[in-house]
Structure 1
Amino acid sequence: MTPLTSRSATAEHGHVPALPGAGRPGTETPLLLAAGTVILPDREHSPGWVEVRGGVIVACGAGEPPRPADVELPAGVLAPGFIDAHNHGGGGVSFNDADTNAVAVRITQTHRDHGTTTMMASLVTAPIDEMERLVRALAELVRGGLLAGIHLEGPWLSPAHRGAHAEQLLLLPDPASVDRLMGAGAGAVRMVTIAPELEGGLAAVARIVEYGAVAAIGHTDADYDLTQAAIVAGASAGTHVFNAMRPLHHREPGAALALLDDPTVFAELVADGVHLHPAVVRLITESPARPVFVTDAMAAAGAADGDYKLGALDVRVVDGQARLVDGTIAGSVLTLSHAVRYAVLTAGVPLPLAIRAATQNPADLLALTDRGRIRPGLRADLVLLDADLNVHATLLEGAWV
């Protein structure tokens, strides 16, 4: 039995401890894990255990395991691997960079070190020729299994709430441009952020959904009624709710309240202490909508402060905050492990709800039915957290990463 009782050699620091059962994904070597708390879809076991074989979960239960555990964390938490539906980069590089294969490997490894086992590649607004090229290149990595899909955050955004997107590159969502980028992905584009108030916006929402992708309302000046109309047209998510959208007002509640008031909507939030006050983090997670923690990470996640690019724009990262020269927030340096820790320890979000927001809710958002939950038959993507919710180790399809 291998107890994990020290953080001195954890994945949070980029070092995976020598653990039994390590190998390539899908290994047939059985592995039994025990922890002080195991987070299941609708309940938690304290203590509990999970058995893995062949890259999948084969059994789980409450109390003492049926045999001596191979790995146990008596004061820790065993949860599904984190799923990041909105991520632009990490490790010093971004998905908008030219060397697509190399940067994607680097970004995914950076975030795997922090418990993220599934990741979308988010693209910021760029010239449409460049976006088409990037979509085609990233689609190959989606088909190869490195990425879960592509998220287009642009170019169909409101100039009034463009955030860290170059205004001169924004476009109206006409059928030709929508078909061009969605067609380039050949099914790999799984989510698109769009401002529905733009000319042709509601029709574009329906068109995006017809392609099998999630239409997410964001970077928008839409009011409450128009946002509701977009939901009727097929939109099912809100991109980093409250950020880059019309502010809440008691006589004009704007897009945020329309999104949070609908239990069919998935509400992205960036729980990093910069994008949202902790009380607002708690408000979103307790709303009727289904909360989804995202990083919105840019290249500086897992890297040093300094000067970076986010698409066409210059970004300076100081004290862990990424901003344009005018002070506009430009993504984050967040990891999902930190988002969970911040939500629980600072914002007061209950641990099971925080774990769901980083696992099963994004899995449902992206229609990933084989992961995101601890359940027999699903992929053995798991994360071991210590008592302080730091990542001890991560399993990807049953192998330590």
Structure 2
Amino acid sequence: MNRGEVHAWNILDRQPIIVKWDEGVFTEISATNKKPEQDKWIGPPLVDLQINGFAGIDFQQDNLSVDQLIHATSGLEDAGCSKFCFTLITSEWDLMTERLAKAKQLRDKHTKLQKSIAGWHIEGPFLSAETGYCGAHPPNLMLEPTEALLTKIRDITGSDPVMLTMAPEIEGGLSAFSTARELGFQVSIGHTNAPDNIIRRVTASGSTGFTHLGNGCPAELRRDDNILWRALDSPNLKYSLIPDRWHVSPSLFRILHRLINKNSIYYTTDSMAAAGSGPGKYQFGHLELEVGEEEIVRLPGTANLAGSALTPINCIRYASEMLRCDWQDTWKNYSIIPAEFMNLITGFKIGAPAEFVEVETNSNNTIKAINLHRY
């Protein structure tokens, strides 16, 4: 269907709206006084900047296929996510770059994957090797982020959007942030124990993210000086949070939303293969992880979390539950804000691609179903 229109409630402002499209782009977006007949909501699709795998598919494998990528992408679409950053975590450098090149090749050959894989997120190996701060990343594989290594990533990805998570305090870290920006990467601080002055030097130089705040650090921290306080005290950061109720506790989640400007927060699932698949054993790079009934993903024999089994639509559900607010109030943080941070085209704009989600609710405003539409 190349042409159509829909009359529903706008998720972003809760007002009635009429949206029309033709030849795959929005042609009219207008408010109306006429109320929709059903509890039907429309809004921009969800956007996730950190997907390590989904629906039983591990993105860290060497023999990833088109069919596997399409399966994972279809699962994300069923959960309302139209665009995501394919994420690779710390491994042997040659393996990482080979996996990135293979994924790029697969994506570029298939239209569906081109629409869904909006960019790449490289989380490691330019992280802290310090115990607790490296998280599930093997500390022995950390590398200095030289210009040659960063240029290799750009050579593989071409002009695609790339997010690069790094620890600025490591050897060569500060200069790497500068080089990454020159190469057109979106930079994000993460898995770090950087002192305050180092963080501020990074944020003073341009747009900067902070990858999954509250994670990538030891479970126990000094109360007077720690990476959480330093990150919260630094200006111009865009913070990602994982709303699965485990990576960040409900009380901390609410506190962070009171301390941080809402437009400086975006959500991510940080999902791995178990997301959308249920309990069981799953591969995550070099690790075999077991996921229980509560969908908690931990390193074997430890309390350390390793990715999540969270699905995109449950990201919205759990975020609103923890904040004790309507789900509509959290939508922008998982759609418009991450898309803008990575300079992706999405949202309700005339001339933009006709992509939107349709959400059905029951009488108490609980989400019953979600459908992603692309024309």
Task: Give the Cα separation in 2 of the matches to 1:376 and 1:312.
Answer: 45
Q: CA offsets per residue over residues 164-219 of structure 1, 9 Å max, x none?
A: 11222221222332222332222335101101110100111111111111111001
| Residue 140, structure 1, aligned to residue 105, structure 2 | yes
2:10 — aligned with what?
38
**Cα pair 1:284 1:291 within 8 Å, conserved:** no
Counterpart amino acid of residue 77 in structure 1: W
Q: Please give the root-mean-square deviation of Cα atoms over the aligned residues, in Å.
A: 2.3
1:389 — aligned with what?
367
Aligned pair count reads 358
Q: CA offsets per residue over residues 220-272 of structure 1, 9 Å max, x none?
A: 11122221122124451010011113777563253x34444556322111001
Unaligned runs of at least 5 residues, structure 1: 1-26
Task: Give the Cα separation in 1 of the matches to 2:29 and 2:152.
Answer: 46
Write out aligned runs for 1:63-102 (5 A).
Answer: 63-64=32-33, 74-97=38-61, 98-102=63-67
- Structure 1 stretch displaced more, 135-144 or 324-333: 135-144
Task: Give the Cα separation in 1 of the matches to 2:289 and 2:139.
Answer: 16
**Cα pair 1:86 1:295 within 8 Å, conserved:** yes
Task: Give the Cα separation in 1 of the matches to 2:207 and 2:126.
Answer: 14
Mark the CA change 1:277 to 1:380 in structure 2 (over 3 Å): closer, same or farther. Answer: same
Mark the CA change 1:63 to 1:260 in structure 2 (over 3 Å): closer, same or farther. Answer: farther
| Residue 103, structure 1, aligned to residue 103, structure 2 | no
**Cα pair 1:223 1:252 within 8 Å, conserved:** no
1:181 to 141, 147, 153: 153
Q: CA offsets per residue over residues 368-396 of structure 1, 9 Å max, x none?
A: 1x31x222222222111222134331112
Task: Give the Cα separation in 2 of the matches to 1:271 and 1:235.
Answer: 23
Mark the CA change 1:185 to 1:76 in structure 2 (over 3 Å): closer, same or farther. Answer: same
**Cα pair 1:56 1:376 within 8 Å, conserved:** yes
Mark the CA change 1:242 to 1:166 in structure 2 (over 3 Å): closer, same or farther. Answer: same
| Residue 366, structure 1, aligned to residue 331, structure 2 | no
Counterpart amino acid of residue 298 in structure 1: M
2:314 to 313, 338, 353: 338
Mark the CA change 1:362 to 1:393 in structure 2 (over 3 Å): closer, same or farther. Answer: same
Structure 2 residue matching 1:85: 3-state secondary structure:
strand
2:299 — aligned with what?
324
**Cα pair 1:82 1:115 within 8 Å, conserved:** yes
Mark the CA change 1:162 to 1:129 in structure 2 (over 3 Å): closer, same or farther. Answer: same
Mark the CA change 1:330 to 1:299 in structure 2 (over 3 Å): closer, same or farther. Answer: same
Displacement, 1:352? Answer: 4.6
Task: Give the Cα separation in 1 of the matches to 2:357 and 2:234.
Answer: 30
2:225 — aligned with what?
252
Structure 2 residue matching 1:386: 3-state secondary structure:
strand
> Could you state the TM-score of these two structures normalised by the residue count of structure 2?
0.88
Identity %: 26
Task: Give the Cα separation in 1 of the matches to 2:223 and 2:18.
Answer: 48
**Cα pair 1:142 1:188 within 8 Å, conserved:** no
2:181 to 209, 218, 238: 209
Counterpart amino acid of residue 85 in structure 1: L
1:57 to 14, 19, 26: 26
Displacement, 1:78? Answer: 1.4
Displacement, 1:136? Answer: 1.3
Structure 2 residue matching 1:148: 3-state secondary structure:
strand
Counterpart amino acid of residue 63 in structure 1: T
- Structure 1 stretch displaced more, 214-223 or 167-176: 167-176
Q: CA offsets per residue over residues 138-163 of structure 1, 9 Å max, x none?
A: 22345451411111011111122111
Task: Give the Cα separation in 1 of the matches to 2:201 and 2:221.
Answer: 18
Structure 1 residue matching 2:30: 3-state secondary structure:
strand
Task: Give the Cα separation in 2 of the matches to 1:116 and 1:62.
Answer: 25
Displacement, 1:285? Answer: 3.6
Q: CA offsets per residue over residues 10-58 of structure 1, 9 Å max, x none?
A: xxxxxxxxxxxxxxxxx4232x2222x3034xxx143333222222222
Task: Give the Cα separation in 2 of the matches to 1:345 and 1:78.
Answer: 20
Counterpart amino acid of residue 365 in structure 1: F
> Could you state the TM-score of these two structures normalised by the residue count of structure 1?
0.83
